[in-house]
Amino acid sequence: MKKKVSHMVSIVMGSKSDYSTMKFCEKVLKLLNISYETNIVSAHRTPERLNEYAKHAEKSKFKVIIAGAGGAAHLPGMIASHTTIPVIGVPIMVYNDKQMKKTDKNKYSAFGGLDSLLSISEMPTGSPVVAVGVNKASNAGIYALKILGNSYPEIKTKLKKHKFDQYTSVLKESEELKKLGLTKFVKKKFR
């Protein structure tokens, strides 16, 4: 684990196969110029590394941890049990089971991500983890920014702009829909 860190957010995932989903929370943080670090820590394959990571997180004084995992996703909950830093869990649907042939059907967890969602959200009373929807890594990024926005007014301002951009894009689309009519609009947008 890296020693000297001054990042605000730590992103951690159970496997390299989670990265294709977790990269979307990196994208959100990058867009708003928020410093973060990323690690792979497996709760079941590297339990000692998990302890080490938790100590590193406390020392580094991260403001938020975003933890993504698939299957029986223990990683976010285990990290939360080690630290007082808020943990946002990302349930991941892709499950790269090494016992199986990598056919399309076997790319997904047996319960389509519900297994991970419940593993993360159903932490016993006393050690909470907030969970975003299955594969909703970008929402985890936005939520992390909301937490940071309470202490950093410049982040709050950026988030307000992001909200305003969302608002204006809907108005723009609505105007376009009026102008083109539904059939042409749908053809243009979903071809």
Cα gap 134→50, rounded to integer Å: 23
Query: How far apart are CB 161 and ligand RP5 at their closest, in Å?
Result: 33
- Contact status, residue 129 vs residue 87, Cβ threshold 8 Å: yes
CB of 10 vs ligand RP5, minimal distance in Å: 16
Binding residue for ligand RP5, selected from 60, 62, 71, 141, defined by CB under 6 A: 71
119 binds ligand RP5 (CB under 6 A): no
Compute the least distance from the CB of residue 114 to ligand RP5, in Å: 14
60 binds ligand RP5 (CB under 6 A): no
Q: Does 77 bind ligand RP5 (CB under 6 A)?
A: no
Measured CA to CA, the distance from residue 43 to residue 152 in angstroms comes to 32
DSSP codes joined into one string, 128-176: --EE-STT-HHHHHHHHHHHHHTT-HHHHHHHHHHHHHHHHHHHHHHHH
Scan residues 132-191 and list those touching ligand RP5 (CB under 6 A).
Answer: none
Name the one range near ligand RP5 by CB under 6 A: 55-63, 94-102, 120-128, 130-138: 94-102
Q: Does 15 bind ligand RP5 (CB under 6 A)?
A: yes
Residue in the block written with tokens 């867009």: 31
**Strand-strand pairing, 64-70 and 36-40:** unpaired
CB of 123 to ligand RP5, least distance (A): 16
Q: Verify binding: residue 25, ligand RP5, rule CB under 6 A.
A: no
In the DSSP assignment, the letter for residue 100 is S
Cα–Cα separations (whole angstroms), residue 64 to 37, 71, 95: 11, 23, 25
Binding site for ligand RP5 (CB under 6 A): 14-15, 17-18, 42, 69-71, 92, 95-96, 98
